[in-house]
Amino acid sequence: MRKPRRLLLMIAAAVIVLGICAVSAYAALSDDSTAPVTTSDAVSSYWNGATVTLSATDDSGVAYIYYKLDQSYVHLYRVGSGASETSVAVAAPATGSAAHTLKFWAQDNAGNVEKSTTVTLTVAADTTAPVTVASGATGGAWYKAAVAVHLAATDEVDGSGVATLTSTLDVGTPVVVAAASTDVNIAVDATTHANDGAHTITYQAADVAGNVESLQTITVNIDTRRPVPKAPYAASVYRGHTATLKYKVADVAPNSGTAAVVIKVKNSAGKLVKTLQYASKPVNMALTAKFTVPGTWKRGTYRFYVYATDGAGNTQLKAASNRLIVK
Ligand SMILES: [Ca+2]
Ligand SMILES: [Ca+2]
């Protein structure tokens, strides 16, 4: 007889516990007289479209989130068992910018409806990449000293603005700056000439809206070696005739391939009597300079001197010189 009695007691206890739980749950639900609170992550302005997330919280649980974008109908999002948040996509205009009004509120499981909140946001279009201009050096030119190439990017009027500028020197690591301008320095080593030759800077800018400029490049050349003029042959000429001076400008590669040449002729007293100038002559090649010796020149031994400046601006250490016999 004792066993059934104990069983009855246990059943009674279980019924009481379940009852308390049910009553508590009902009490919790019916005690919820507080409306949900919905927040958004909207900011004031967007480029090329916006996605706004609405998040609602509530004591008894969120049942619905409502929103209304501009003059459209009211959207209803049923929360169910998922996260009590939904997102709203706002498209960009084809050009220019557009202001939008987003109104939102939520309702909880106890039927409380939140007072609506309204946010305003602007969505603007920017589908044009910035443009970067390099200055401080001329593409393809030769330099004998360190070169600082200045890169400056600009975005279009009413664009989102330059966000980053990325530059890479030769095959180095790309350098990204969060600015509209930067300098890329090309060093020289005039002792070892190790950095002589072509150097290419690759660069591109990106705007805030994410438009990326196509890769741009500028190549500058370094030559730190001096040209070496040579005049291995003496010349002779009769007065009133054409003198032919043989010379050459040696220059170790890499170089521009040409040099500016000046040839000066001095008489036996050391007085300058003739100057010949050539803006561009090929280097490492046998060359001749010709001029007519005036009949008024005295016979005797003159000297001609060859000076050279290579395409990077390096000048000879010592002029080449030889005799010009005037007969
Ligand atoms: Ca832009
Ligand atoms: Ca040179």
User: What whole-number distance in Å separates Cα of residue 196 and Cα of residue 312?
Assistant: 11
Confidence at residue 24, expressed as pLDDT on a 0 to 100 scale: 46
Structure tokens at 174: 């790309």
Confidence at residue 146, expressed as pLDDT on a 0 to 100 scale: 98
pLDDT band at 311 (very low <50, low <70, confident <90, very high): very high
Q: What pairs with residue 161 in β-bridges?
A: none
- Taking residues 216-229, what's their average pLDDT? 98
Domains and CATH numbers, the chain: 37-124 (2.60.40.2550), 131-222 (2.60.40.10), 228-326 (2.60.40.10)
User: What whole-number distance in Å separates Cα of residue 174 and Cα of residue 172?
Assistant: 6
Q: What pairs with residue 57 in β-bridges?
A: 37
pTM: 0.78
pLDDT at 9 over 70: no
Confidence at residue 11, expressed as pLDDT on a 0 to 100 scale: 52
Q: In what order do the strands lie in the sheet with 216-222?
A: 142-143, 216-222, 197-207, 162-169, 175-177
pLDDT band at 21 (very low <50, low <70, confident <90, very high): very low
Confidence at residue 127, expressed as pLDDT on a 0 to 100 scale: 96
Q: SS3 of 11, please?
A: helix
What rounded mean pLDDT belongs to the chain? Answer: 93
User: What whole-number distance in Å separates Cα of residue 85 and Cα of residue 148?
Assistant: 53
CA of 210 to the centre of ligand 1 (A): 8
The ligand minimizing its distance to the Cα of 257 is 2
The ligand minimizing its distance to the Cα of 188 is 2
Alpha helix ranges (H) inside the chain = 2-31
The ligand minimizing its distance to the Cα of 253 is 2
% of residues, the chain, pLDDT over 90: 88
**Per-residue exposure over 207-218, b if at least 16 CB sit within 10 Å of its own CB, e if not:** bebebebeebeb
CB atoms within 10 A of CB 223: 24
- Residues measured by CB to lie within 5 Å of ligand 2, the ion: 223, 225, 251, 255, 310, 314
pLDDT at 244 over 90: yes
Structure tokens at 254: 């890499």
User: What whole-number distance in Å separates Cα of residue 30 and Cα of residue 268?
Assistant: 122
Confidence at residue 10, expressed as pLDDT on a 0 to 100 scale: 57
Is the sign of the CA dihedral 255, 258, 260, 262 positive or negative?
positive
Give per-residue pLDDT as tens, 100-119: 999 999 999 999 999 999 99
Confidence at residue 7, expressed as pLDDT on a 0 to 100 scale: 56
Confidence at residue 301, expressed as pLDDT on a 0 to 100 scale: 98
DSSP string, 134-151: EESS-TT-EESS-EEEEE
CA of 21 to the centre of ligand 2 (A): 95
Structure tokens at 320: 């080449």
Confidence at residue 318, expressed as pLDDT on a 0 to 100 scale: 98
User: What whole-number distance in Å separates Cα of residue 319 and Cα of residue 276?
Assistant: 14
User: What whole-number distance in Å separates Cα of residue 36 and Cα of residue 59?
Assistant: 8
Confidence at residue 19, expressed as pLDDT on a 0 to 100 scale: 44
Structure tokens at 140: 């393809």
Instruction: Tell me which of 3 and 56 has the higher pLDDT.
Output: 56
User: What whole-number distance in Å separates Cα of residue 201 and Cα of residue 135?
Assistant: 12
CB atoms within 10 A of CB 38: 25
pLDDT band at 167 (very low <50, low <70, confident <90, very high): very high
Give per-residue pLDDT as tens, 189-219: 999 999 999 999 999 999 999 999 999 999 9
- Taking residues 244-266, what's their average pLDDT? 98
CA of 212 to the centre of ligand 1 (A): 9
Q: How far is CA 82 from CA 67, 78, 172, 297, in A?
A: 18, 9, 49, 107
User: What whole-number distance in Å separates Cα of residue 308 and Cα of residue 261?
Assistant: 5
pLDDT at 264 over 50: yes
Q: What pairs with residue 118 in β-bridges?
A: 103
CA of 100 to the centre of ligand 1 (A): 22
CA of 221 to the centre of ligand 2 (A): 11
CA of 188 to the centre of ligand 2 (A): 13
- Residues measured by CB to lie within 5 Å of ligand 1, the ion: 126, 128, 155, 159, 207, 211
Q: SS3 of 236, please?
A: strand
CA of 194 to the centre of ligand 2 (A): 13
pLDDT band at 16 (very low <50, low <70, confident <90, very high): very low
The ligand minimizing its distance to the Cα of 160 is 1
CA of 82 to the centre of ligand 1 (A): 39
Confidence at residue 18, expressed as pLDDT on a 0 to 100 scale: 46
pLDDT band at 27 (very low <50, low <70, confident <90, very high): very low
